Amino acid sequence: MPRVAAIDCGTNSIRLLIADVDLDSGTLTDVVRRMLVVRLGQGVDRTGEFAPEALERTLAATDEYAAQCREHGVEAIRFVATSATRDARNRDEFIDGVRERLGVAPEVISGTEEAELSFRGALSTLDASRPGPYLVVDLGGGSTELVLGDLVPEAAHSMDVGCVRMTERHLDSDPPTVAQVAAAQQDVRAALDAAMTEVPLGGTRTLVGLAGTITTVTANALGLPEYSREAINGAELSIDDAARSCEELLAASHAERTAMPFMHPGRVDVIGAGALVWREVMLRVRAEVSAHGGTLDTTVTSEHDILDGIAFSAAERL
């Protein structure tokens, strides 16, 4: 089995997975899985450029990950950069810095490819008894990917809404005001309207949520005394319970969020916006399924996502 390194650099965090990949069985075995919040996308929505301090934090994290790759003898590295890097005018500075440290250039992938990799990662461990079509929602810092399909993606769309982007654009107060929340909701609903021209949300039979915002919403709904990947992965919540968890996180103050035992410090200031996005997505999908004569009452959370998809794709290139 080849040992590969997958690196996912998003708007809020940079994550590393070193894994042994068995392509025949479609499984992977974790060797290292790490996440650092570096906020690469700080201010990008407003300025169109990476801030110098954000670049410094991200490249320092890349140095750490390069050392891990050397230590564990990886055979191939795939470094994928997503929403913030797509939007930044000075992305060449970032790309050159990563190449110097890892020996490979980061691939600035499209929202469509991001969605496809997320879909592959999520379905690699999903309970086979759950019915398709599956709508996989990967809610990041700068964008949210929607991808619908059975064994393979059949429709995908990337929305320019995410926890960092919506926080910087709308949610200035602590906690946010009614007017700020309404403006953010309007933004997300417009993005969902556009998404529906490409992704038939009403065909969803199983709704799967990925990434830090959704796993944190799930941890809150479950009342976890600490963050636990094992408890969160595969957790099934009613959409009503998940929506209530979103509302609690959105309404909480910065101090209240900080005190939550499952909360990563790097998510405290952006989780409210992320929860707002997830609530809007869940309610829209449920409404569309109902409008098409179906029923969708629950959502499933996965700890396996684009990072796993990147690892599979890196192994296939060997």
Cα-based angle 261, 267, 269 (whole degrees, multiple of 5): 110
At residue 287, the pLDDT reads: 98
Do residues 250 and 124 share a domain? yes
- Top pLDDT among 33 and 44 is at 33
Cα-based angle 294, 295, 297 (whole degrees, multiple of 5): 160
For residue 91, pLDDT beyond 90: no
Do residues 189 and 100 share a domain? no
Do residues 271 and 246 share a domain? yes
Do residues 184 and 261 share a domain? yes
Please list, in sequence order, all residues whose beta carbon lies within 8 angstroms of the beta carbon of residue 208, skipping any fewer than 6 positions away: 122, 126, 134, 135, 136, 137, 299, 300, 301, 302
At residue 142, the pLDDT reads: 85
At residue 149, the pLDDT reads: 95
Do residues 143 and 290 share a domain? yes
For residue 87, pLDDT beyond 80: no
Do residues 224 and 262 share a domain? yes
At residue 86, the pLDDT reads: 76
Do residues 163 and 78 share a domain? no
At residue 214, the pLDDT reads: 97
At residue 292, the pLDDT reads: 96
Do residues 7 and 144 share a domain? no
- Per the CB < 8 A criterion, the answer to whether 33 and 308 are in contact is no
Q: List the CATH number of the domain containing 281.
A: 3.30.420.150
At residue 183, the pLDDT reads: 96
Do residues 127 and 223 share a domain? yes
At residue 141, the pLDDT reads: 87
Do residues 175 and 292 share a domain? yes
Question: Is the CA virtual torsion 12, 16, 21, 27 positive or negative?
Answer: negative
* Amino acid in position 267: R
Q: Which pTM value belongs to this model?
A: 0.88
Dump pLDDT digits (tens) for 126-184: 888 899 999 999 998 888 999 999 988 999 998 999 999 999 999 989 999 999 999 99
Dump pLDDT digits (tens) for 258-274: 999 999 998 999 999 99
Dump pLDDT digits (tens) for 42-57: 888 888 899 999 999 9
Domain region containing 174: 112-302
* Mean pLDDT rounded to a whole number for the chain: 93
What are the two backbone dihedrals, phi and then psi, of residue 151, each rounded to the nearest 5 degrees? -80, -30
Q: Please report which residue ranges of 196-234 form alpha helices under DSSP H.
A: 212-222, 229-232
Encoded tokens for 11: 């708007």
**pLDDT band, residue 60 (cuts 50/70/90):** very high
Q: How far apart are alpha carbons 166 and 172 in whole angstroms?
A: 10
Do residues 161 and 34 share a domain? no
At residue 83, the pLDDT reads: 64
Report whether the peptide linkage leading into residue 52 is cis, meaning its omega lies within 30 degrees of zero: no
Dump pLDDT digits (tens) for 211-247: 999 999 999 999 999 999 999 999 999 999 999 999 9
Do residues 79 and 127 share a domain? no
Number of domains in the chain: 2
Q: List the CATH number of the domain containing 27.
A: 3.30.420.40
Helix axes 91-102, 52-71, angle to 10 degrees: 20
